[in-house]
């Protein structure tokens, strides 16, 4: 299947580039004076966090369009984006506490940004559980579209929580109205990593969409008693 092969190639390329991000971050990016080497966790944590939020936004948008157009490709994409978003969310929720322990002195605190990020992750996981629980494809697509839209509404609160509430979490240093407050070398590493995570997201979503299509083809075969459906 062409789509699956294309996704696999893109994912393979992304992992090669992710290795380059690691090398650049570890060997060619300066150590931050106050946080020490642990600050470099930021080059993985931030792109993964941004793509978790974007994945949820795309799930919600696909849900809105699905409710109007009833195009199964939108539902397939939303499912793929939610699964990849949940995988990236897992990276965010593990690398964050590993950074928090040496810098804040605690693995976790129930402050607004952390709690809302956990909630976003749980919405993504809940979305996947809901899909697994509803057997009828039309109903499954409609219900999950609604949940996806709820998740989309949550994203601005996650991103703006550092402005809306008193929080321990650092404020955005790149995605903010003024110029990025990050030295050049660090900014280049962060943007490089963000590019690689973008490619990784596209590669993984492409593979996941291909998997959903294969499953539908297989389901079509069983429904028609083994004969290929038109």
Partner 1 sequence: MPEGVPQNAAYLTAAYIVAAALLLGYAVSLYLRIRRLR
- Interaction pattern, residues 41-60, with partner 1; x per rule: CB under 8 A: x--xx--x------------
Number of Cβ within 10 Å of residue 56's Cβ equals 28
CA 129, CA 135: separation in Å to the nearest integer? 12
Nearer to partner 1, 18 or 187 (CB): 18
Q: Which of residues 183-212 bind partner 1 (CB under 8 A)?
A: 200, 204, 207-208, 210-211
CA 133, CA 45: separation in Å to the nearest integer? 31
Query: Which pair of tokens denotes residue 190?
Result: 């962060």
Q: How far is the CB of 70 from partner 1 (least distance, A)?
A: 25
Q: How far is the CB of 198 from partner 1 (least distance, A)?
A: 14
CA 223, CA 230: separation in Å to the nearest integer? 12
Residue 78 found at the interface with partner 1 (CB under 8 A): no
Q: Which of residues 89-148 bind partner 1 (CB under 8 A)?
A: 90-91, 94-95, 98-99, 101-102
Q: Where are the alpha helices (DSSP H) in the chain?
A: 2-27, 42-69, 72-104, 112-133, 137-164, 184-223
Crossing angle (nearest 10°) for helices 42-69 and 112-133: 40
Q: How far is the CB of 170 from partner 1 (least distance, A)?
A: 16
CA 85, CA 223: separation in Å to the nearest integer? 31
Residue ranges that bind partner 1, judged by CB under 8 A: 1, 4, 8, 11, 15, 18, 22, 26, 31, 33-38, 40-41, 44-45, 48, 84, 87, 90-91, 94-95, 98-99, 101-102, 200, 204, 207-208, 210-211, 214-215, 218
């Amino acid at each position: 299947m062409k789509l699956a092969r294309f996704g696999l190639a893109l994912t393979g390329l992304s992992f090669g580039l992710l290795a380059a991000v690691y090398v650049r971050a570890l060997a060619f990016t300066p150590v931050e004076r106050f946080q020490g080497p642990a600050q470099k966790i930021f080059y993985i944590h931030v792109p993964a966090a941004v793509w978790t939020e974007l994945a949820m936004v795309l799930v919600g948008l696909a849900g809105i369009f699905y409710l109007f157009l009833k195009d199964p490709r939108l539902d397939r994409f939303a499912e793929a984006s939610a699964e990849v978003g949940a995988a990236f969310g897992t990276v965010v929720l593990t690398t964050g506490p590993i950074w928090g322990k040496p810098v804040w002195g605690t693995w976790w605190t129930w402050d607004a940004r952390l709690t809302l990020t956990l909630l976003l992750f749980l919405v993504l996981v809940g979305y996947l559980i809901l899909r697994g629980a509803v057997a009828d494809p039309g109903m499954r697509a409609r219900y999950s579209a609604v949940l996806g839209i709820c998740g989309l509404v949550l994203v601005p609160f996650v991103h703006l929580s550092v402005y809306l509430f008193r929080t321990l979490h650092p404020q955005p240093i790149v995605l903010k109205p003024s110029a990025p407050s990050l030295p050049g070398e660090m900014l280049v590493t962060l943007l490089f990593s963000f590019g690689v995570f973008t490619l990784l997201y596209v590669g993984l979503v492409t593979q996941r969409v291909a998997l959903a299509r294969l499953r539908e083809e297989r389901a079509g075969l069983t429904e028609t008693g083994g004969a290929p459906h038109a």
